A and B are shown apart, each in its own frame.
Chain A
Amino acid sequence: MNMCAALMLFQHAYDPQAPVHGAPWLWFSIIKILVVFTVLMVTIAYLTLAERKISAWIQDRHGPNRVGPRGLAQPLADGLKNIMKEETYPSAAYSPLFILAPVMSFIPALITFAVIPFAAPLPTRWGLVDMSIADLPVGFLYILAIASLGVYGIVLAGWSSNNKYALLGGLRSSAQMVSYEVSMGLAVVSVLLLSGNVSLSSIVSSQVKTGWYFFPLLIGFFLFLVAAFAETNRLPFDLPEAESELIAGYHTEYSSMKFSMFFIAEYSNMTTASALLTTLFFGGWAVPFWTTVNTAPWHWWKTVITLVCFMLKTGFFLFLYMWIRWTLPRFRYDQLMSVGWKVMLPIALAYLVVMAGAVLALDAAGIAPTARLGGFLPTYWTLLGVLNIVLAVLVFVVLDRGRLVSPASARVGPVELAELRAMSTRRPAPVQGD
């Protein structure tokens, strides 16, 4: 009898569809921090294996296949090796910052993931638990702010090593990251125009209602993608550690676990950037064409399905990162700067003006973001998407005139072909046994 009353009181106090609060909130937050941190670190460890396997696949090799079944224990062996190796301290290094620098690049890289919503909210007996560590109301601004701190680790590593190559790498990276941060921020403003809010969970929920943003913001997506590659120092933007000219750039003087921390920071940044691309432009955890799963009332199986969906989308972008790394050559430094300031920034600014005008015009025409053309196709989404395709043609074909985009894919002209053939006939044939 008493039990029954207590149970009723209990159920009255905690509605599974209302946000969790109080002490359970604290416990759930701690659990989420531990689980997300562990999953992220294991993912990063296996990303190093994935990178090597994918590079092997692209270059028609086997890749690491000796440790464990099909090389699956390779990350463990790498981790053990990095811990056991000797740590070297250059005698001329400024040691406080030399030790601090890997930490300063490691921590921002890991804590940016905290605001990303990775699944639909989970209803428990204590209330609805958000599937992100902290759904901050400043959402995306938090990511920009913390990511902008990551540059300190790299710059200070370069400076404190007291090594010319390391310093050049550090300076390059700071110039690069500051330059591309601007276009990255501007590209995202167009997302904020459509969603009307900076918190990532509301960006996801508005994409559930109005359709994913990659189509109505096609150019914004491309700008963000390129800037994300530059911000994470991945090829074709890995100038800070260009091994052909700078040995290893900012981490030339680092060994063992301190080197490994830079490595972990890079892969962690990649993971966050992929998750962010998913969240901002590809609907986050939303499952395509399945409204039941993406909307309330929540259930645990919805959380599981959306989590898998989020992982698949993020995994695709991680694969894209590796695919591009093993496909494209590195930019020259002057090309990098001119792409950043003379191409990306003007396009981002002009695009923002055009999109703001288009959104204003659609609002003035009285088209609601949720209105659907013929009951199926979202009107708003389609109109903006068509506008973006027109803009994309303008940017990639008319404005570019084959300078940036086509060299990677275009056919070689007859004159160039003749030159290349002449070069190959001049070169002596390789001697057997060389």
Chain B
Amino acid sequence: MKRRLLLVIPLLVFIALAGLLYRGLSLDPSARDSALLARDFPAFSLSSLENPGASYDASLFKGEVTLVNVWGEWCPTCKQEMPQLLDLADRGVRLVGVDYKDSREKGRAFLEEFGNPFEVNLFDPEGELGFELGVYGAPETFLVDANGVIRYHHTGYITPEDVTETIMPEVRKWQ
């Protein structure tokens, strides 16, 4: 009887392995958590896109939950996700934009054409802040809590469903 039970072990191992691999099929290989989760928003000193004279640093994020969106005029997906960002602004979320690896003219033209849901747009032409944030492609979105700590990271396109199902709950969680 004991020997009979031993014979079932290979079958069990096979089922476990098949289950594991089947789960792997539906995972997104490019999805991973940001290394900055639960860390302070990195230090920076950048001017505003609209106003080159105005300079900002990380104290911009103290006191209020803020959604930071990294965008660029050269990024087609950023254009597609603007309606969702405008929607988030309408829902009362404070948004700060990072105009990543762009020129002032193109960045401003982008906001004129697609709307401006951002309270402030940080101008990051060399991608310095983007590098500190571990950004490897726009759009990327970070949720920063009232203490300036990064709490949530979204890579790529924000769908209308993401707004209601993921981002709004995260915003409320940290408010």
- State whether these chains interact: no
